[in-house]
Structure 1
């Protein structure tokens, strides 16, 4: 493990992954291979950070149910600060993986919406660490106060703050997203999310854009760095690729930005070559 510490605030989900080899036959049947996989953008990023050898803690909320155990799989190397909700179930997401690996998600956030300021461990807010916030936590009204409180505490403690916008579709319906989140040290959108934010990023010191097969680029407004994607033999499932990229980038940041982009591209390539959003085999 390195001496770098990242605190991830985000969601834990149980993914119902349906991989179908033909286009969906609407109003009829499409054969598929269906598996249960641990998921959630926050939990995925934490797991990939652990794979990268980073000391990482996850702040999240699950239900008091059997799904929680499955959703927290492949997290042995993560410091889990996960609260249990007595009323709401663990979040669940139906993930449809089309031919070529592109995924479409149907999430039911469940207990993730009830994350509260009481779920924020004080000992995690330490100068020199990084707070990484999943955009879902900022978009959902139930968890938003906890996410904003965590960001305020992180700033007061001298931590760096990273935000992944998470969903272009949800950003379109949330024009105040960036206004609430700023100031942000690092934003990690993909190309669609950047477009949904309007391309203008007030209050963001720097950003790294995930461009899929076109690689990734970083900018602070004055300097620009771009790297190509790492080639893979077959794209199996793009679920969690952005989370893996974020983890790779954060494993180096705020160090050399080119190296950070390259680290992100390497983990993203590993993610798309497997089914599910968590690293196969756990942390190294």
Structure 2
């Protein structure tokens, strides 16, 4: 079938739990920190499941975004590809994605567990401990199998997070999808993902950005790229304008650059035009968790854009709306279908 949006990246099963301080102390975790799991942290994930009430979320940044886009799209509009293992974690992630209406076409590998992220909640604080594992094993060879490449060929829009380019299979797959998108005049979207990506993978990032018709990022990611590019500015509007003018493969579409700044205005650049869009702030008393708000914004924006909406201010408003739903909940989640209300006019 044809999908409005195909997302690709590193899938992680978020295992969320409200935990006791003694668990934080046991592992030496500091509130509001984040880390990649070492051998010491490997028992943490089963310990959470055994000793706490956990919630499972189909995570990884691009999977969060694709789920958010599905919120605004007709049923069965989105599909996601990434790599998992043949284990209980993968079963839980597939179930969680399905509950948000997201179709998954995971590559399955043996010998490694499905990637997971422990989300430890203490009051209003969070600690994230990610075990990437199988999520980094996605391969171009699997993407190019007829049953998978046919999904690429039929998809109308593409979304890739820059975390995907940190391993060889994800990088090669990003280039292949970007090339297909450019040759067929399909919108190809990339998220800068984190400030360190531009520092550690500048050449790979530039190679994939060459295909990007839409670029998402936050102010820190924008400034990180400006630094490595030698642009000599921290001004987000100026950086967005420079991004919009970078050469790109598909000359039939002007590049759209969208930089969020938390609760401050969102900056959009396309062609030689830069605009700023205020955020309708959520009352502090209603904010539960800002984790995943950026992914949610991208989902809302694309949820409207993939329906052919060309008014970028409306797409930004949709992004703000989905992000506002997300921050009223724990983790990068959206209201379940039974609790969803009528979607407002943007």
Q: Give the TM interval when normalised to the shorter protein.
A: 0.7 to 0.9
Verify: 1:281 aligned to 2:336, yes or no.
yes
Are residue 112 (structure 1) and residue 131 (structure 2) matched? no
1:127/1:157 contact within 8 Å kept: no
Please say which structure displays the higher CA radius of gyration: 2
What residue in structure 2 maps to residue 230 of structure 1? 280
State how many pairs are aligned.
280
- Output the aligned Cα RMSD: 3.0
- What is the deviation of 1:282? 4.5
> Retained in 1: the 8 A contact 2:20–2:122?
yes
Deviations 1:231-270 (A, max 9, x none): 3233211222111111111122261100010000000111
2:82 counterpart SS class:
strand
Matches within 5 A, 1:86-235: 86-96=110-120, 105-120=128-143, 121-126=148-153, 129-181=156-208, 182-198=210-226, 199=239, 200-201=242-243, 202-203=246-247, 205-233=255-283, 234-235=286-287
Q: Is the 8 A contact 1:64 1:84 kept in 2?
A: yes
**Correspondence for 2:251:** none
Distance change in 2, residues 1:208/1:34 (3 Å) = farther
Task: Measure, in 1, the Cα distance between the counterparts of 2:61 and 2:265.
Answer: 20
Q: TM-score, normalised by structure 2?
A: 0.71
Q: Aligned partners of 1:35 and 1:241: how far apart in 2? A: 21
Gaps of 5+ in 1: none
Instruction: Say which SS state the counterpart of residue 182 (structure 2) adopts.
Output: helix
Cα shift at 1:162:
0.2
Larger helix percent: 2
Write out per-residue CA displacement over residues 198-226 of structure 1, whole angstroms, 9 at most, x where no aligned residue: 13433462211111111412111511222
Higher strand share: 1
Pair 1:46–1:84, CA change in 2 (3 A): same
Q: TM-score scaled by structure 1? A: 0.86
Aligned equivalent of 1:37, options 48, 56, 59 = 56
- Alpha-carbon deviation of 1:175? 2.4
Q: Is the 8 A contact 1:14 1:36 kept in 2?
A: no
* Structure 2: gaps (5+ residues): 32-47, 227-238, 249-254, 341-346
Distance 1:111 1:275 in 2: 25
Q: Secondary structure at the match of 1:7?
A: strand
Distance of aligned partners of 1:258 and 1:206 in 2 relative to their CA distance in 1, 3 Å threshold = same
Kindly report structure 1 stretches of 4+ aligned residues shifted beyond 6 Å. 24-34
Distance 1:226 1:127 in 2: 34
What CA distance in whole angstroms lies between the structure 1 residues aligned with 2:86 and 2:191? Answer: 27
Q: Deviations over 1:10-33 (max 9, x none)?
A: 2221123355799x8798688998
**1:58 pairs with 2:80:** yes
State the alpha-carbon separation in 2 of the partners of residues 220 and 30 from structure 1. 41
**Secondary structure at 1:230's aligned position in 2?**
coil
